[in-house]
Amino acid sequence: MEFNKIIEEKSAEAWEVYIPNLSVDCVVFGFHDTTLKVLVTRLKDKDIWAIPGGYVLKTENLKEAANRILFTRTGAENIYLEEFKVFSNLNRNDGVFDEFPDTLWNKQRFLSVGFYALVDFHQVNLVMDDISDACEWKAIDELPDFMMDHRSIFDIALITLRKQLNDKPIGYNLLPEKFTMPELQKLYEIILAKKLNRGNFYRKMLRYDILIKLDESRKGGAHKAPDLYQFDVEKYEKALKEGLNNGW
């Protein structure tokens, strides 16, 4: 079924089940092949890209809505979600639904609550909904042109993620269960877009006391096999709630 017909049919139901004038947009970050990536979708028949989003059911709160939307897109549960900003500019929908009547649900003015999500790249199962013809991971420096204000939503999500590194741990939702210290440092450098001193990074991460050094090493390569680590989940969760005490 073509995009316009699907939108028109969904509009009638939307008025009944969703909270008016409120939406959720989710910037989903994943880490793969030493690259920070973002989940993006393309509207069917339109060659317009977007970040995953949707509306809030009358029976759920905002975070439940964000989790539901991301589960339908990725199949991932227990996703780390951070609410970071409300987007409220006038005419956010300009250019996308202009050809539709003003009574269309999607054409109303929406305040959108932005969340960013951190997911394990290997634990997601990308799914296209019926108004999309693509659902893909894109490197953060190779993003397509976005619809509406989605580029601004992404930009602010990335800025917020970088700021979070100053007082909260990161990596548990982005790295495999076992990882090396160079792999963790690479993740921080990519997010921060700057090089970090190896010795300072190692000392700081160990001082945070959120890592467990394993009696294993990463095999392969010509150099000494690096030690493997994993996060101490209990201490990691505590640091998320209480914060760290040093910035980058």
Of 162, 156, 164, which is closest to residue 243 (Cα–Cα)?
A: 164
179-242 CATH pick, 1.10.8.100, 1.10.10.10, 3.20.20.80, 3.30.300.30:
1.10.10.10
Percent of the chain scoring above 70 in pLDDT: 96
- Chain segment 11-25, per-residue pLDDT in tens: 989 999 999 999 999
Angle at 69 between CA 106 and CA 97, to 5 degrees: 15
3-class secondary structure for 96-164? CCCCCCCCCHHHCCCEEEEEEEECCHHHCCCCCCCCEEEEEEEECCCCCCECCCHHHHHHHHHHHHHHH
Burial of 157 (0-12, 13-18, 19+ CB in 10 A): buried
Q: Would the CATH topology of 3-164 be identical to that of 179-242?
A: no
**What are the residues facing 151 on neighbouring strands?**
none
Q: State how far the Cα of 231 lies from the Cα of 213, in Å rounded to an integer.
A: 9
| pLDDT above 90 (res 93) | no
Domain positions in the chain are 3-164, 179-242
pLDDT at 4: 87
Rg (CA), the chain: 20
Q: State how far the Cα of 197 lies from the Cα of 77, in Å rounded to an integer.
A: 35
Give residue 243's region: left, alpha or beta (phi > 0; psi -120 to 50): left
Q: State how far the Cα of 176 lies from the Cα of 174, in Å rounded to an integer.
A: 7
Q: Which CATH homologous superfamily contains domain 3-164? A: Nucleoside Triphosphate Pyrophosphohydrolase (3.90.79.10)
Which stretches within 35-114 are classed as H helix? 62-74
User: What is the rounded average pLDDT for all residues in the chain?
Assistant: 90
- State whether the Cα torsion 41-133-53-105 is positive or negative: positive
Helix, strand or coil for residue 25? Answer: strand
Q: Are 23 and 111 in contact (CB under 8 A)?
A: yes
- Chain segment 197-245, per-residue pLDDT in tens: 999 999 999 999 999 999 988 776 556 778 999 999 999 999 988 888 6
- Strands 132-139 and 80-87: what pairing? unpaired
- Chain segment 46-91, per-residue pLDDT in tens: 888 999 999 999 999 999 999 999 998 888 887 889 999 999 998 8
| Other CB atoms within 10 A of residue 229 CB | 22
